[in-house]
Structure 1
Amino acid sequence: MVLPNLIGMDTSAKIWNAVATLFGSKTTSKLMAYRRALHSQRKGELSMKDFLMKVKSCCDNHDSCSEIIREHEHVTAILNGLPLEYESVITIITASQVPYTVQGVTSMLLDTEACQQVVSNEVSSSTSLVLSDSFDVSGSLLAYRPSSTARGRGRGHSSNSRIQCQLCGKAGHLID
């Protein structure tokens, strides 16, 4: 890189203008690249914390070029990078009369992710329980067989109205 001849420049303003001209194009291209990176972030398989940190890093990179990303643009970049399972949260944030701060959006999204994980764990554990209850000790799938051979017309209309356990097949009790 060749520096312009700074000798003979009599004011600091002229020197500053020469330096700004020399490095200005690089700063503009950096700003454009940082802004593009900011708006192309997607959560994908990342945890919410990691996704939010990537977006914050893009904003910090942009800020390092002396151009601050406004809060509204930061929030917009976050919301645009979220998958469909966050659609209800996005609707709440965008429909609000009072604009959400980055901190408010961050808190809401981290709480939402935590709730989704709790629900997911409960569903998978109850699915596991149901599946394990559907098999006998040998691993064979248990079948429900009504105790009556007569065909009834619905609940309570058969000739033998005794209840039968779906797990062990014995009459007189049910499994919860």
Structure 2
Amino acid sequence: MARGNSRQQPALDAPKGRRSSVIPRRPDTNRDVFGRLTEAIARAMGTPWFLFGLSLFVIAWMLFNTFGPEGLRFDSAAIGFTALTLILSLQASYAAPLILLAQNRQDDRDRVQFEQDRQRAERNLADTEYLAREVVALRLALQDMASKEFIRSELRTLLEELDRDRPAAGKAGE
């Protein structure tokens, strides 16, 4: 590969990082506020209360524009409630991207959590391996150490030898 090119080639063995944007980014605080707002909206849209409220809104709209005073009706049932259709289409066109934005933020959080879990697991594995080596070293050291029973038996043997040697030493001194 030629080194004369001033653009750095991406490393193929590393994951792709954040892509640079043509449009300059604002500080992350504004993005975070907008992200939290999109998550709140997406969370609210995923509740039974939202569906219930939307259903009540559609029913009230249709009833009013069908049975309401003729001078106050603003969306005709004869043409298929065009305004209602447009409102619901607009709501759906905003709902899908907001839900996707909320999912992307959750994916980012999951990715960070996964990386932290992976690092924690690596540290735990290293600690466990270190402790296992220490336990093995202690076992080996304990096998080389004399036990209480071994020391007692050696002392008894030495005392018996001393007791045997004393009478002989006592007779020699007389």
TM-score (normalizing by structure 2): 0.28
Whose Rg is larger?
A: 2
TM-score (normalizing by structure 1): 0.28
